[in-house]
Amino acid sequence: AFLKPLSRDAKSPSLPPGPRGLPVLGYLPFLGDNLQSKFSELADVYGPIYKLKLGRKVYVVVNSPVIAKEIVREQDSNFSHRRPNIASFILSYRGRDIAFSNYGPYWRMMRKLFVKEIMSGQSLNACYDLRRSAVRKSVAEVWEMAGLSVDVGKLALQVMINAMISMLWGNSNGEDSGANVDSEFKLVMKKLMELLAKPNVSDFFPVLSWFDLQGVQKQAREVNSWFDRFHDSLIRAATDEGKRRSSDKGKDLLQVMLQLDFKSEEDLTRTPGNNNQEIKGMLQDIVVGGTDTTATTIEWVMAELLQHQYVMQSVREELTEVIGIDSMVEEYHLPKLKYLKAVVKETMRLHPPLPLLVPRTPDCSCVVGGYTIPKGSMVFLNMAYIHTDPKLWTNPKDFMPERFLKEPDKFEFSGNNSVYLPFGSGRRICAGLPLAEKMLMFVLANFLHSFDWELPEGTTLEFSADLGIVSRKRTPLEAIPRPRLVNQEFYSARVAAK
Ligand code: HEM
């Protein structure tokens, strides 16, 4: 809906409350390095909505589902804009991907093609064999480590990267299908996440950006050029493969992307026929937005299961019943794994990988929750706080998957209830949700059906999260796998490749 800009007259409601800061710097010196926990601490003092002045920027933090709903539903179009910080801007091809492009014709065109063509049932089914063989390869590798302690987060990231790369360029890369994506990728990815999370003085004082005092711009450009070369090599390989192939069967996602017709009303300056920029933006969103978030969730699920043995036992029983101890997991089993789904939902309630979602920015000043939200401010939905608010959840700190079993439709990933939004909601809801849900369930079902997991003797689990864009487990989870399936053949690399 069209929103009338507010005039700053005496009748406009006041700005939300918030802590006082220093002249010029505002609250910046007090922010600390863990944004989410600081935001939650302030929510206890300032209530459902508050503001922070940080240099030239205004942050607005929302801690109530009613106000969250106003933003992602009732005033969604005004709040569908993004104002990426400098690092995100550089790392998203100058905001030409989906996640950081501004709300307008370009974003609409990119998002529509992505959701309708790349995340469609047809495209995802066509590359099922590719992700299945990546996951099974990983099962075969874990089998080699049976009885030894395994770093679960590292394993999850490895399988996610392999599966994503495999789905993207599986057919173009022959046998190897990206399985040996080397440690360089992980290092660059780690650097990228650090750059996205690091408070950058140039963001708060744009006049200083010319000096790049912390070197963030320089490092972001280096990381971006690494990814650019990486995407170029993917595209080249897929283009060559595409020329050799004529059938649609077994198409990998990049081949689908190469055939997309990127056309946007505003983009008259683009070289016709050259879609590389759009394709690279999409690749960046899949590789960067889809791997770490999913892997982190898998690690948290495993940690919660190892901590709550009665839940682990129920998951095992469900897997045995639905799949059978003499069979391997297939994607058609997943809709029947209702208890595992509840476990994933409960884990994402307690450990949302993006606890503040991705900040939104209103295009015009407006009123939310009875306060004026100034145009251009950065609006954070503090979902980690809402997900554990005792006014909204019974025993909010306890891990109880059963709460999602009773009313499975009440809390969907699709953002229908602003009490629970691990993937966001509204126009900007996670565009990769169909694939994220499949991968979370498929990888977990495979790991848990193929192995019994236990903690190394004498280990006590701890559940603190690290700061950063993605809320990772601070101490890596180590666990020992023991084969569970009757047929040893299921663990062989040969079966994995099928
Ligand atoms: C457990 C895994 C994942 C979680 C928790 C997650 C969460 C999110 C969240 C919270 C947002 C912002 C929503 C908002 O602003 O309201 C988002 C956006 C996005 N995600 Fe995901 N995501 C996951 C996996 C993926 C995957 C696998 C892909 C790609 C295949 C993906 C692609 C995107 C894209 C493109 C956007 C930007 C959407 C837009 O701005 O229009 N995500 N995600």
Q: What is the pLDDT of residues 384-421, one digit of tens each?
A: 999 999 999 999 999 999 999 988 889 999 999 999 99
Average pLDDT over residues 433-452: 98
Taking the CA of residue 285 as reference, the ligand 1 atom at the shortest distance is: 35
Which of 60-64, 170-174, 226-230, 464-468 tops mean pLDDT?
60-64
Average pLDDT over residues 144-167: 93
Nearest to 282 by CA among 167, 133, 412, 122: 167
Q: How far is the CA of 99 from the centre of ligand 1 (A)?
A: 8
State residue 493's pLDDT score.
Answer: 67
Minimal-distance CA residue to ligand 1 atom 31:
432
Taking a C-beta distance cutoff of 8 angstroms, is the pair 355, 382 a contact? Answer: yes
**Domains of the chain in sequence order:** 28-497 (1.10.630.10)
How distant, in Å, are the alpha carbons of 108, 132, 195, 196 from that of 214?
34, 43, 11, 13
State residue 198's pLDDT score.
Answer: 79
Q: How far is the CA of 429 from the centre of ligand 1 (A)?
A: 7
Of the pLDDT bands very low, low, confident and very high (cuts 50, 70, 90), residue 170 is confident
State residue 345's pLDDT score.
Answer: 98
| DSSP labels, 171-205 | GGGGGGTTTT--HHHHHHHHHHHHHHHS--HHHH-
Average pLDDT over residues 91-110: 93
User: Is the model's pLDDT at 10 over the cut of 80?
Assistant: no
Taking a C-beta distance cutoff of 8 angstroms, is the pair 179, 137 a contact? Answer: yes
pLDDT digits (tens, 9 = 90+) for 347-388: 999 999 999 999 999 999 999 999 999 999 999 999 999 999
Of the pLDDT bands very low, low, confident and very high (cuts 50, 70, 90), residue 2 is very low
Taking the CA of residue 282 as reference, the ligand 1 atom at the shortest distance is: 35
User: Is the model's pLDDT at 209 over the cut of 90?
Assistant: no
For the chain, what is the mean pLDDT?
A: 89
Of the pLDDT bands very low, low, confident and very high (cuts 50, 70, 90), residue 470 is confident
Q: How far is the CA of 422 from the centre of ligand 1 (A)?
A: 9
ipTM of the complex: 0.99
| Residue from 62, 256, 430 whose mutation best tests the ligand 1 pocket (most atoms within 8 A of CB) | 430
CA distance 163 to 170: 9
Partners of 379 in the beta sheet?
A: 60, 360
Taking a C-beta distance cutoff of 8 angstroms, is the pair 251, 127 a contact? Answer: yes
Q: In what order do the strands lie in the sheet with 451-454?
A: 150-151, 478-483, 451-454
Average pLDDT over residues 131-151: 95
State residue 176's pLDDT score.
Answer: 45
State residue 465's pLDDT score.
Answer: 84
* Ligand 1-lining residues (CB < 6 angstroms): 98-99, 111, 285-286, 289-290, 293-294, 297, 353-354, 357-358, 422-425, 428-432, 435-436, 440
Of the pLDDT bands very low, low, confident and very high (cuts 50, 70, 90), residue 321 is very high
Of the pLDDT bands very low, low, confident and very high (cuts 50, 70, 90), residue 7 is low
User: Is the model's pLDDT at 447 over the cut of 90?
Assistant: yes
Minimal-distance CA residue to ligand 1 atom 40:
99
Minimal-distance CA residue to ligand 1 atom 16:
424
CA distance 18 to 4: 26
pLDDT digits (tens, 9 = 90+) for 210-268: 888 889 999 999 999 999 998 888 888 777 766 666 455 557 888 888 888 887 666 55
Of the pLDDT bands very low, low, confident and very high (cuts 50, 70, 90), residue 490 is confident
State residue 429's pLDDT score.
Answer: 97
State residue 343's pLDDT score.
Answer: 98
Please tell me the pTM assigned to this model: 0.93
State residue 364's pLDDT score.
Answer: 95
User: Is the model's pLDDT at 182 over the cut of 80?
Assistant: no
State residue 1's pLDDT score.
Answer: 40
CA dihedral sign, ordered 210, 220, 356, 416:
positive
State residue 118's pLDDT score.
Answer: 95
Of the pLDDT bands very low, low, confident and very high (cuts 50, 70, 90), residue 295 is very high
| DSSP labels, 465-494 | B--SSS--BSSPPEEEEEE--S-GGGGSHH
CA distance 357 to 420: 12
Nearest to 64 by CA among 44, 38, 36: 44
Taking a C-beta distance cutoff of 8 angstroms, is the pair 362, 78 a contact? Answer: yes
